[in-house]
Amino acid sequence: MSTTDRFVPDRLQSPLEQRLKSWETLLLLVAIGIFVANSFASPYFLNAWNLSDATFNFTEKAMIAFAMALLIISGEIDLSVASIIALASTAMGAAVQMGVGMPGLVLIGLGVGLLCGAFNGLLVTRMGLPSIVVTIGTMSLFRGISFIVLGDQAFRGYPQSFSWFGQGYVWWVISFEFVLFAIIALIYAILLHKTNFGRAVYAIGNNATGAMFSGIRVQRVKFTLFLLTGLMSGVAAICLTARLGSTRPSIATGWELEIVTMVVLGGVSILGGSGTIIGVVIAAFVMGLVTFGLGLLNVPGIVMSIVIGALLIGVIALPRLWSMWRAR
Amino acid sequence: MLEQTDNTILRDAASDDVAVLALDRITKTFPGVKALSEVSLQLYPGKVTALIGENGAGKSTVVKTMTGIYQPDGGAILVGGKVTKFPVPQAASDHGVTAIHQETVLFDELSVAENIFLGHAPRGAFGLIDLKKMAERAREILNGIGANIDPEHKLKDLGIANKHLVAVARALSIDARVVIMDEPTAALSHKEIEELYELVETLKAQGKAILFISHKFDEIFRIADNYTVFRDGQLIGDGAIADVSEPDLVKMMVGRDVSQIFPTRDSSPGDTILRVEGYSHPTEFEDIGFFLRKGEILGFYGLVGAGRSELMQALFGITRPSGGTVEIDGAPVQIKSPADAVDSGIVYVPEDRGKQGAILDLPIFQNVTLPSLGRISSKGFLKLAEEFKLAREYTERLDLRAASLDTHVGNLSGGNQQKVVIAKWLATKPKVIILDEPTKGVDIGSKAAVHEFMAELAAQGLAVIMVSSEIPEVLGMSDRVIVMREGRMVAELANGDLQPETLVRHAAGI
Amino acid sequence: MLKRILTSRETLLVGAIILLLALISSRFPGFVAPSNLANVFNDTSPLILLAIGQMIVILTKCIDLSVAANLALTGMVVSMVNVAAPGLPIVVILMIAIGLGTILGMINGILVWKLAIPPIVVTLGTMTIFRGIIFVISDGKWVNSHEMSPAFKAFPRAEFLGLPVLGWIAIFAVIIFTIVMTRTTLGRAFHAAGGNPHAATYAGINVGKTQFCAFTISGALAGLTGYLWVSRFAVSYVDIAGGFELDVVAACVIGGVSIMGGIGTVTGALLGALFLGIIKNALPVVDISPFWQLAISGGAIIIAVALNAQANREKGRIILKRAEHAT
């Protein structure tokens, strides 16, 4: 940057400076802290295979969390994601019973995800309904359809080639899911931070009316975001179904909350308008490490939910308490 | 008597009354801003005091201090000469101080009676609200101010003028001794304003002290007894209206002599660029037809609510017209969204800058480039260097003052925010720019800059539509003026030696 | 006036419920027998109680997703208290349940009021925390019927005029909260704080404190329901009433409560809950698998919110005289 005598500089702080003071940096320190604490707490923690196993705790949820992050930044929310997983998984299970092969299953999983996303998107953008209510409704509706189809039964018998999506390894301890997680993270980071589309998402989240008055096609962008969230739920459904090898209607119950927690923990404002993908990536690792670490210490899963719930409130409450305390 | 530079309290020499409410050297500081600096103000029973000041002079801060919403950092509030504190809004209303705010701050979903008595409803058995008594008393109060409103209707079913009357009734219901009216005529029609003046007279006759906040000098001279002028959070002067002239007040308000001078323009319009015919909307406007030439400024005058902004928003694709045609450069265009409008070369600078014009929480450069993202990217990927270049080019053209281009727009003054919005649109290289009340909320100093810039745009061949309710602005800037009334075009006038009275006559239909 | 009553949401909903009952009874007349209707009402009572609390919370522009977890935690605590001290009178049990529920509600309220954390985040968090605490205090074990004292189990089932106490409690709650919402300052404050928070501040209403009160009421009702739930079903474990918070929100939405705040009535919440309750109870009667219930309530939410949106669509300014007369 040349030092001309320009009256109005581009920036006052360099992007690097801003980044160092950011939420993401703090979160990264937390993640490192948890990593170190875990490695002292359990002798089994620093084992390549154990760590690799631990990634399954968050990869599928994180894939959806990236799309959810964009949706929340734009000022909307989708609580039906876990139910989309259930419906997509049920559809794939039904297809297996009809003898559909691996490529067909993948297409069905993605297709159902897209359809569900389109349904949410149409209700929100065409009819102008609040997304939180719409997706509480479709949350019941989508999973309800799975219950109607399956009742208390389960679909099994997924082909070996399909199982690879949930159980396969690309190289040594690096699983296919982890690679997919990394690729999707990269794609969403570019989409949000480096494209016109991402800029429109931020503008809409800050002031949807202002964005529309600036010539942004607000409803089209929002519809696309619901499509993307549905699509990612389809991807997650493929991975999860392949990993479990069976489909029950209760599959992925409660994931929507963990995914929203991941997004908020990652520094995305629940009120819309701000947040980054790298934040969500780090939040995914933090949640994965906490779950894995407590698991090694034989702490049951439901107790971890206390930690997750406290994290969700704590990450927002602590900075506010801090600034209130300082204002005295 | 005019310039009170030392902030001493000027006593109302003509009156021996004790002020029913007085502020004594009140100071209020917000992070980074001293909103009020030792200001004093006295309100006397049966007198209307006009509070005058530019935007940002501290008028609304004073109202919020007087109604217990803000706590002063220094100074005292005196009620009937006794030092009093208003720790919560309820305390202010307990002392008979009530405010009728600029936007009617009432509750759409509650009934008229509930709106009037919210917080102090008459109680019956077991301390429960007595609904019947509440409706009766509401009816009494409404009748007392000549308002024919059913107290059991929901507020949302009422028109804006009636909502205002409900707000006044609410003020009366707490047996107010001090009534603060914050720009009460801003959203009212000519007739409604006259009715409001009568109401003020009624309140005066009842011995209430009234603080009347207004921008409009004609109404200040019409109804006020005393005046108080603020500038930049300081008391500049006060006294009796009878002892002061309009130029004196203006001078106190802005701190210098301002004769509104408009840029001289050499108007030689070029080819017709925009032609609108038979343009109608189901509820907002009907059969609008006009043309606009390159280099021309076309003024739209009318009373508030005449349908001017609604017409412009339809042209910009916010709402859908029910019929009619729009031609740009002789070719018909279909505008279904603002994005279509921008593509066709029509851009719109809205009146509501904070909600519609700018995105306050985004930096300046992102606001400027928002409609032009296609030009600073390739295949959808943003090029940051080009983005800054584009933002720099247009903000420099408008002489924007800011700490840096990544300053949030919300941190800028009204005038500079307006520059960001205009820069945003110029960057799209438009053919027609529509400015809706372009100097509203812009301090007098920056108004001239906006006017000059409009003249420059026209000189460069841009076609300009200016919606304005300020007659001097309409007369000073426009080549032609279209007057609208109740959703229709009632006059199209060439601006040779157009007289203000002509505009008012057409707009009011007299 | 009459026209407004006829077109109100409550009237439409009553119509829909009557139609629903008529449809069911045309095939299965036994469903509308008074004893069965009393049974359906009793079965729907927990939903009614929670929907009233949720309605008040939503009225203030908030949402409480922690109600079912609050219910489960309170239920577990009173069950364990009962096991430890079987002789404790029911009045004390009720006080513990309402008291604990109130405290849990106040925690939500404080976080929303004093720290200004978005309600959805607060209650998502407390929802998982409350469930986790149940596991910790119970060690994941169930409290079964045979461990509970007879008096503990008998209270909600005791019949009076053909309706169990549980149903009567719901009726009392409806009456009391109708009075609170229409005839007290606090009730109007709930409407005002959600309908126009800005104006509410000017009218001397502390919006945050009002929201705190709403969460407190919601928590108290959830706590009360917690005891009634575990005693009626005579079992308590971590997952009771799992996902019930969504039924509660659904009842409110169907009852015409606007998620944007400011619009909603106790009657609406009652009718919304009854609508869902009737469907749930009718499914086995008309021989549809209970697995349909989830999808039906989902569909009902979507239809209801679409209807609400149609009714509350903002009308543009009417400027033309012609148009004014036409409407």
Structure confidence by residue, pLDDT tens digits, C195-245: 888 888 878 889 999 999 999 999 999 999 999 999 999 999 998 998 898
Mean pLDDT highest for which of A235-239, A263-267, B466-470?
A235-239
Q: In what order do the strands lie in the sheet with B432-436?
A: B346-349, B432-436, B463-467, B297-302, B480-485, B488-494
Quickly tell me which residue has 């840096």 as its tokens.
Answer: B404
Q: How far is CA A97 from CA A87, A101, B176, B389, in A?
A: 15, 10, 77, 60
Minimum distance, in Å, between the CA of residue A231 and any CA atom of chain B: 21
pLDDT at B379 over 50: yes
CA distance B443 to B235: 18
So what's the pLDDT on residue A50?
85
Range name among A13-17, A213-217, A227-231, B471-475 with the lowest pLDDT average: A13-17
Provide the 3-class DSSP secondary structure of residue A26: helix
Residue B248: how many CB atoms within 10 A of its CB? Answer: 17
Residue B492 in this model has a pLDDT that exceeds 90: yes
Average pLDDT of chain A to the nearest whole number: 90
Q: Is the pLDDT of residue B350 over 80?
A: yes
- CA separation, residue B162 to residues B159, B195, B507 (Å): 5, 11, 22
* Cα separation, B45 vs A144, whole angstroms: 68
Average pLDDT taken over every residue of chain C: 90
Over residues B405-410, the mean pLDDT reads: 89
B305 inside 8 A of chain C by CB: yes
Q: If pLDDT is split at 50, 70 and 90, which confidence band does B189 have?
A: low
Q: Does domain C38-310 have CATH number 1.25.60?
A: no
Chain C touched by B302 (CB under 8 Å): no
Please give the single-letter amino acid code of residue B266: D
Q: How many residues are there in chain B? A: 510
Q: What is the DSSP letter of B8?
A: P
Q: Is the model's pLDDT at C318 over the cut of 70? A: no
Cβ partners under 8 Å of residue C274, min gap 6: C17, C41, C44, C48
The total of other beta-carbon atoms located within 10 Å of residue C78's CB is 27
Identify the CA nearest to B244 among candidates B265, B226, B267: B226
Distance, in angstroms, between A64 CA and closest chain C CA? 18
B22 falls in which pLDDT band (50, 70, 90)? very high
Please report how many Cα atoms fall inside a 13 Å half-sphere around the Cα of residue C275, on the Cβ side.
Answer: 31
- Compute the distance between CA of residue C40 and CA of residue C32 in angstroms, rounded to an integer: 10
Residues 426-465 of B with CB under 8 A from A: 428
Residue among C199, C321, C322 minimizing CB distance to B106: C199
ipTM: 0.84
Residue with tokens 């006593």: B11
Q: pLDDT (tens digit, 9 = 90+) per residue, A46-79?
A: 888 888 888 888 999 999 999 999 999 999 999 9
3-class secondary-structure state, position A7: coil
Tell which residue, C62, C28, C29, C76, has the closest CA to residue C207: C62
A274 has a pLDDT exceeding 80: yes
Q: What is the CATH number of domain A23-319?
A: 1.10.3470
Cβ-defined contact of B109 to C202 (cutoff 8 Å)? no
Helix C266-285 with C34-59: angle, nearest 10 deg: 140
Q: Which residues of C touch B110 (CB under 8 A)?
A: 188, 191-192, 195
Q: What is the pLDDT of residue A41?
A: 83
Instruction: Tell me: pLDDT of C325 over 50.
Output: no
Q: Where are the domains of chain C?
A: 38-310
Residue B175: left (phi > 0), alpha (psi -120 to 50), or beta? left
| Chain A: touching chains (3 or more CB pairs < 8 Å) | B, C
Tokens of B92: 């202010």
**Taking residues B138-155, what's their average pLDDT?**
87
Distance separating alpha carbons of residues C68 and C245, to the nearest angstrom? 5
Contact A154, A247 (CB under 8 A): yes
**Residue B33 pLDDT greater than 70, yes or no:** no
Q: What's the rounded Cα separation, in Å, for the pair C251 and C60?
A: 17
Q: What is the pLDDT of residue A2?
A: 38
Averaged pLDDT, B11-28: 74
A71 interface with C at CB cutoff 8 Å:
no
With residue B139 as reference, give the H or E element that holds it: helix B131-144
Q: B interface mutation test: which of C7, C179, C202 has the most B CBs within 10 A?
A: C202
What's the confidence (pLDDT) of residue B11? 45
pLDDT of A327 higher than 80: no
How far are the Cα atoms of A204, A315, B199, B214, B254 from residue B182, in angstroms, in the given order? 32, 41, 15, 7, 20
The predicted-structure confidence for C123-157, as pLDDT tens digits, reads as follows: 989 998 999 999 999 988 999 999 999 999 999 99
Listed by start position, the domains of chain A span 23-319
Give the closest of A138, A271, A313 to C302, CB-based. A138
Lowest-confidence pick of A125-134, A135-144, B97-106, B194-203:
B97-106
Burial of A207 by CB count in 10 Å (0-12 exposed, 13-18 middle, 19+ buried)? buried
Average pLDDT over residues B421-430: 94
Confidence of residue B5 (pLDDT cuts 50, 70, 90): very low
Identify which of A113-117, B424-428, C115-119 has the greatest average pLDDT: A113-117
- Closest C-alpha to C184, from C145, C166, C216, C210: C210
Compute how many other C-beta atoms are within 10 angstroms of the C-beta atom of residue A302.
17
Answer positive or negative: Cα dihedral of C253, C258, C260, C262: negative
* Closest of B423, B441, B442, B443 to residue B433, by C-alpha: B423
Cα B224 from chain centroid (whole Å): 20
Query: By C-alpha distance, which of B385, B337, B381, B387 is closest to B362?
Result: B387
pLDDT digits (tens, 9 = 90+) for B295-326: 999 999 987 778 899 999 999 999 999 999 99
Residue type, A137: G
| pLDDT digit string, tens, across residues C164-174 | 999 999 999 99
Q: Whole-model pTM above 0.80? A: yes
Provide the pLDDT for residue C255: 92
| pLDDT of A257 above 90 | no
Q: Is the pLDDT of residue C319 over 70?
A: no
Q: Regarding beta strands B48-52 and B226-231, do their DSSP bridges make them parallel or antiparallel, or are they unpaired?
A: parallel
- Going from the C-alpha of B401 to that of each of A1, B364, B419, B491, the distances in angstroms are 21, 11, 9, 40
Spatial distance between the Cα atoms of A175 and A168, rounded to a whole number of angstroms: 6
Do A282 and A265 contact (CB within 8 A), yes or no? no
Does the pLDDT of residue B4 top 50, yes or no?
no
Mean pLDDT (chain B) is: 85
Determine the pLDDT at residue C3: 56
Amino acid identity, position B170: R
- Asked whether the predicted pLDDT for residue B165 surpasses 80, the reply is yes
Query: C184: which DSSP letter?
Result: S
Query: CA-based Rg of chain C, rounded to a whole angstrom?
Result: 21
Taking CA atoms, what residue in B is nearest to A190? B381
Q: What is residue B255's predicted lDDT score, i.e. its pLDDT?
A: 67
Measured CA to CA, the distance from residue C100 to residue C93 in angstroms comes to 10
Question: Measured between alpha carbons, how far apart are the two ends of chain B, in Å?
Answer: 40
Distance CA B391, CA C90 (A): 72
**Rounded distance, CA B343 to CA B357, Å?**
18
pLDDT digits (tens, 9 = 90+) for A20-42: 667 888 889 888 988 898 888 88
Q: Which two tokens stand for residue A153?
A: 């039964």
Instruction: Give the C-alpha separation, A48 to C127, whole Å.
Output: 34
Bridge partners (DSSP) of residue B323 are B280
**Domains along chain B with CATH numbers:** 15-96+205-254 (3.40.50.300), 97-175 (no CATH), 271-345+435-450+464-510 (3.40.50.300), 355-429 (no CATH)
- Model pLDDT, residue A78: 96
Identify which of C203, C262, C320 has the shortest CB distance to residue B286. C320
